[in-house]
């Protein structure tokens, strides 16, 4: 009897095939699940600017409570999902608030949050380190508010709209400082949401962070 016809060999081949098939099925389910989550977060990103009662609009400055939560929650899944949701939330602001500078500020979520998602992908352990995750939050907020301030300054400097120099400076300060605080609050809301949801179903960054913690525990015991 040839070796590949042995019952033992056939058993192991069948087992390997079954494991591969199971892994492929799990990967497909994960992709479908992430697609559904991305759609839900995008829908929230569109609805929050339209329906949230806690909203402050002062010229080009707009502060809507939890407006960043959908795109920031997407950061815990993947950079691709983050980019997708960022575009969706921009659409939400375009529908709900007829102010071009606010649309441009919303569009800045695309580069900032996507880069932030890459950082979290590289350092998932941050979500279980209270100090480091807040340092990350602060740095993200600086780039977030800074880029929004820059795009508003460019909008007026290039002559797309007129505003007195003194008023522009006040608006820029409001966007910079208010944007930083707003960004940090919303990130903590998204982090809390992610923590809760990670106990119900897998979230990429939280799963990787948990695995890293478990590996460290095993090494410590050894």
Confidence of residue 168 (pLDDT cuts 50, 70, 90): confident
Worst-scoring range by mean pLDDT, 111-120, 134-143, 196-205?
A: 196-205
Instruction: Kindly compute the dihedral angle of the four CA atoms of residues 82, 83, 86, 87, in this order, to the nearest 10 degrees.
Output: -150
Instruction: Kindly compute the dihedral angle of the four CA atoms of residues 88, 49, 69, 53, in this order, to the nearest 10 degrees.
Output: -160
pLDDT at position 161 = 82
Residue 100, pLDDT above cutoff 60: yes
61 — phi, psi (to 5°)?
-95, 125
pLDDT digits (tens, 9 = 90+) for 3-44: 555 666 666 666 666 666 666 666 788 788 889 999 999 999
Residue 60, pLDDT above cutoff 80: no
User: Within 10 Å of residue 32's Cβ, how many Cβ atoms?
Assistant: 10
pLDDT at position 1 = 45
Q: What is the mean predicted confidence (pLDDT) over 147-154?
A: 94
Share of the chain above pLDDT 90, in %: 53
End-to-end CA, the chain: 46
Burial (0-12, 13-18, 19+ Cβ within 10 Å), 87:
middle
Q: What is the mean predicted confidence (pLDDT) over 167-174?
A: 90
Q: What CATH number has the domain spanning 3-221? A: 1.10.1760.20
Q: What is the mean predicted confidence (pLDDT) over 69-88?
A: 95
Cα dihedral 97, 180, 128, 108 sign: positive
Residue 201, pLDDT above cutoff 90: no
CB 61 within 8 A of CB 86: no
Residue 187, pLDDT above cutoff 90: yes
pLDDT at position 202 = 87
Q: Which residue has the higher pLDDT, 156 or 23?
A: 156
pLDDT at position 133 = 98
Question: What's the token pair of residue 191?
Answer: 């982090």
3-class SS letters over the chain? CCHHHCHHHHHHHHHHHHHHHHHHHHHHHHHHHHHHHHHHHHHHHHHHHHHCCCEEEECCEEEECCCCHHHHHHCCCCHHHHHHHHHHHHHHHHHHCCCHHHHHHHHCHHHHHHHHHHHHHHCHHHHHCHHHHHHHHHHHHHHHHHHHHHHHHHHHHCCCCCCCHHHHHHHHHHHHHHHHHHHHHHHHHHHHHHHHHHCCCCCHHHHHHHHHHHHHHHHHHC
Question: What's the token pair of residue 98?
Answer: 């007829």
Going from N- to C-terminal start, the domains of the chain cover 3-221
Worst-scoring range by mean pLDDT, 24-28, 115-119, 148-152?
A: 24-28
Q: Which residue has the higher pLDDT, 2 or 177?
A: 177
């Amino acid at each position: 009897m040839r070796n590949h016809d042995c019952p033992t060999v056939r058993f192991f081949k069948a087992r390997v095939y079954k494991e591969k098939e199971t892994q492929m099925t799990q990967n497909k389910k994960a992709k479908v699940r992430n697609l559904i989550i991305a759609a839900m977060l995008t829908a929230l990103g569109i609805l929050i600017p339209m329906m949230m009662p806690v909203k402050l609009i002062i010229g080009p400055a707009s502060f809507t409570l939890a407006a960043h939560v959908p795109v920031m929650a997407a950061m815990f899944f993947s950079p691709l999902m983050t980019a997708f949701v960022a575009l969706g939330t921009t659409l939400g602001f375009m529908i709900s608030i007829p102010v071009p500078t606010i649309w441009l500020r919303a569009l800045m979520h695309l580069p900032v949050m996507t880069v932030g998602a890459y950082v979290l992908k590289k350092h998932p352990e941050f979500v279980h380190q209270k100090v480091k995750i807040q340092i990350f939050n602060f740095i993200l907020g600086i780039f977030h508010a800074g880029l929004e301030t820059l795009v508003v300054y460019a909008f007026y400097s290039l002559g797309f709209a007129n505003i007195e120099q003194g008023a522009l400076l006040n608006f820029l300060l409001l966007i910079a400082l208010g944007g930083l605080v707003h960004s940090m609050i919303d990130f903590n809301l998204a982090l809390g949401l992610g923590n809760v949801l990670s106990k119900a179903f897998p979230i990429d960054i939280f799963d990787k962070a948990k695995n890293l913690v478990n590996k460290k525990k095993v090494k410590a015991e050894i």
